[in-house]
A and B are shown apart, each in its own frame.
Chain A
Amino acid sequence: MSDVELTRRGALRAALAAGGALVLPGCAAGGLGSGPASGPSLGAAAENYLRRQGEKLGVPSISLLAYSAPQAEAIHQLAPRFTDLTGIAVNWTALDEQSAANKAAVSLGSGSASYDVVHLTSDLLPTYASRGWLADLDRLRRAGTVPGWGTSAYGRATTDLLRWKDTLYAAPMFLGTQLFYYRTDVFRRYGIGTPPRTFAELREVCAKVHGTQLSAIALRSAPSPSQLLFVWSAWLYAFGGSYYRRYADGSYSGVALDSPAAVRSLQLYGTLLRQYAPTGATNWSVEDVTRAFTTGRVAMVQDGAVFGGTFNDPKSSQVAGKVGTFVIPSGTAGRFVPYNCHGWGVARTSTRAAAAWLFVQWATVQATLTAAAAGPVGFSTPPIATIYTSRSYAKKYGFDDFVPSVTRTISVAEDGNVSPLRGDPNYLPGTTDWSTVGQQVSEQLSRAVTGQTSAAAAVRAAAAVVSGR
């Protein structure tokens, strides 16, 4: 999709929104204000600041590269309001996550400044920041911020993920955490009153509900840090395992992966997938897992909280109205949750960095994120905890116990249980070479999940990768 088309579409949306606002002035809901372009009301101080800055900068447009995902699309739909306030058009390019990451790497790595704003995951941040690809947001902040915007709104567990060497390189726009979704009708049929609280109970439930018509469980298992490792690592930590022994001053030391805890957690993960998952589910990505759940082929999945809206939407799910949730079970070492976030970063070589920074603040301020979550896209995991207790959020996502499960999951993360290493804000190790190491680790562990090798041998090989042998 070309930038021109997107700009046209944005203009069309702005025109339609403007028309809608004129015809139905009383219909704006969920924090949306009236005006030439529909969008969140940020308050007079913030909106006046944006107008003044827009005039002062005199930048006609900025370019942005985003993942084709609900969290970005929800902001995209509101972006005409930013243009309306500042006069800065946003040329939006949306691609699937892998293609966008590839394009961002080429653009940032070559210093071409094709994009002023890039969407990135916190896992990639150490790599991007260490290579000098991103602008220092702390420095941009010193020149002024939109009233109401501040890092304190997000919580330390979130902002620390987007810092590298104590410098902020991206503003949070999405919270990537996970919980278990289950079929309430299936649990009722088998007389399961309480969802599993421990991994031992999870295994029992899998054995109980698994059958020829319906498999018990599906989990991400494809060899990749964002697939197998992102899900399994919470199990590793809960069993008492870890990738490294120590974390201090942003550095990791001492390989700890070759442990009995790692073997036990991987054995359980592989066993559940081989015995209680659909055939072929030992090499599944997120798309396969979510499709299996929405088509009613599995009773349980552990996946992103962002899918809550989709799973319970009759337009996209055959199991809508029959979806329950529970927090990831505890192991012998406690309860841990997968946790990362996505952010908007500004390209260091951008010639329109101040305008890009203005957009980033507008897109990540509480009013915008609240409106985005309440919008039609189904963006259910904004990075600000207070949004989850808002009425608009409860109205849109208040099915079964979804909201309490998400808030409890966030509490687990805020309590530091994203990593077993004290003081480590990263769920997966935040090393600059993790994209390399994590990929190779996941390839080794995948062999055990598919049954090509034993869990002990896979863990040993993965530990050798971590230690650089």
Chain B
Amino acid sequence: MTVLDRHAPAPTRRMSTRRRAASAAWRRAFLTPLLVVLAATTVLPLLYMLALSLGPRQGQLTVGAPQGLHNYRDLLTSTAVWHALGLAVVFLVGALVVELVLGLTAALLLDRLLPGNPVVRTLLLWPAVLPPIAVALVFKYLLQGDVGLVSYYLAQVGVDQAWLTEPVSALAVIVAIDVWQYTPFVILLALTALTAVPDEVREAAALDGAGPVAVARRVVLPMIKPAVIAIAMLRFIDAIQVFPTIYALTRGGPGTSTQLLTYFNYQAFFGQLQFGYGAAIAVLVVAFTIVCVMLLLAWQRRAEAS
């Protein structure tokens, strides 16, 4: 009995170890297809792009022996790339700031006035699901020259603006279309975030004498700050890829005034068939995105900690 007692835990330990090993094997088995898909759709294209960027500036799409960092050297010394990056930053800051300010304000109002209304939520979703190229074409006809609907009526009241052919207004239109299409999406996400704020907290603040604006600014917004940063991050990842709007509306013009980084990348790769150089620009786009996302993640972690 004593002997048995002494040895009693041993089979349990063995079984537990065996079960853990089996469980790990199952986990690996379930994860493997996912990892394969991830490798095929993300890692391999990234490696291909890196390999291409180390090849000749023009040449082929087949990967050959690396020829050095000359494409990156050209990239870093090109004023055109920095110009395109600068325009991308102007677009991103403009679009994200307006979308977040408008989106959060609208969400705070809707949360109080029409809480949990499913019709509002459905309506808010539809601009975001429209294909960007279709949206761009509609805006093209609204704003075009003297026959576009918007241009025509503005001209009737004395505002004669060539929206798509003036550098500043052309970029402003690209920002405005992004704001029109995605602000409702920001409202929707912000409404979801606001459901995490308990009513008791607002009521306690109100009992302490805080008005609705003060409650929103000092209580609600700090509580949903990590979620707001996550929304900004989602919008950033999407907005950095802006392309159909530029392609349909301005083709990067007038001059290069709407040639944002992604369109500049497209021009180098397909317009000028500089595959190596185009791949290097794509690497820059990925690096820029990763750095910005890491900064936003760090900010979000700090917000969560506080």
Contact = CB atoms under 8 A, between A and B. Distances in A.
A271 interface: no
Contacts of A435: 271-273
Contact of B255 (A106, A278, A444): A444
Contacts of B60: 109-111, 131
A132 to B, nearest CB: 8
B123 interface: no
Interface in B151-209: 151, 155, 160, 162-167, 170
Contact of B160 (A109, A111, A279, A433): A279
A468 interface: no
Interface stretch (A81-89, A280-288, A328-336, A350-358): A280-288
Contacts of B163: 280
B251 A223 contact: yes
A127 B273 CA distance: 9
A101 B251 contact: no
Interface in A274-303: 278-283, 285, 288, 297
Interface string B136-156: 000000001111000100010
B226 interface: no
Contact of B145 (A98, A105, A222, A281): A281
Interface in B249-305: 250-257, 259, 267, 270-275
A281 B259 CA distance: 19
B273 A110 contact: no
Interface residues of B, number: 36
A224 interface: yes
Interface in B204-227: none
B185 to A, nearest CB: 28
B145 A110 contact: no
B61 A109 contact: yes
B273 A222 contact: no
A443 B255 CA distance: 4
B162 to A, nearest CB: 4
A450 B165 contact: yes
A278 B145 contact: yes
A265 interface: no
Interface in A107-142: 109-111, 127, 131
Contact of B270 (A102, A111, A288): A102
A110 B61 contact: yes
Nearest to A132: B60
Nearest to A106: B61
Contacts of B61: 106, 109-111
A443 B167 CA distance: 12
Contact of A131 (B58, B80, B257): B58
A194 interface: no
Given A110-B62, A222-B251, A439 B272 contact: yes
A123 to B, nearest CB: 12
B116 interface: no
A99 B144 CA distance: 24
Nearest to B155: A279
Interface in A428-459: 433, 435-436, 439-440, 443-444, 446-447, 449-450, 452
Given A109-B61, A110-B61, A452 B254 contact: yes
B164 A446 contact: no
A449 B80 CA distance: 20
B59 interface: yes
A282 B255 CA distance: 10
Contacts of A280: 144-146, 151, 162-165
B62 A446 contact: no
| From B255, B257, B267, residue with most partner A Cβ within 10 Å | B255
A98 B252 CA distance: 15
Contacts of B273: 105, 109, 127, 435-436
B271 A283 contact: no
A449 B58 CA distance: 30
B253 A439 contact: no
A39 B145 CA distance: 44
Contact of A443 (B58, B59, B256): B256
B4 to A, nearest CB: 71
B270 A447 contact: no
Given A101-B270, A436-B274, A452-B167, A279 B151 contact: yes
A405 to B, nearest CB: 28
B253 A446 contact: yes
A122 to B, nearest CB: 16
A433 B160 CA distance: 40
B286 to A, nearest CB: 20
B226 to A, nearest CB: 41
Given A279-B162, A280-B162, A223 B271 contact: no
Given A283-B164, A435-B273, A224 B145 contact: no
Nearest to B258: A283
Given A110-B60, A279-B160, A281-B145, A223 B272 contact: no
Contact of B167 (A224, A436, A450): A450
| From B145, B160, B252, residue with most partner A Cβ within 10 Å | B145
Nearest to B277: A436
Contacts of A436: 272-274
Given A279-B160, A450-B167, A285 B267 contact: no
Nearest to A98: B270
B280 to A, nearest CB: 14
Nearest to A110: B61
A131 B56 CA distance: 12
26 contacts: A106-B61, A109-B60, A109-B61, A109-B62, A110-B62, A111-B60, A111-B62, A222-B253, A223-B254, A223-B255, A223-B256, A224-B251, A278-B147, A280-B151, A280-B165, A283-B254, A285-B251, A435-B272, A439-B271, A440-B80, A444-B255, A446-B254, A446-B255, A450-B167, A450-B254, A450-B255
Given A109-B275, A279-B151, A443-B255, 17 more contacts: A131-B59, A131-B60, A223-B254, A278-B145, A278-B146, A279-B145, A279-B155, A280-B164, A282-B165, A283-B164, A439-B271, A443-B253, A446-B255, A450-B165, A450-B253, A450-B254, A452-B255
Which 7 residue pairs spanning A and B have beta carbons closest together? Answer: A280-B145, A109-B61, A436-B272, A450-B254, A110-B61, A447-B255, A283-B165
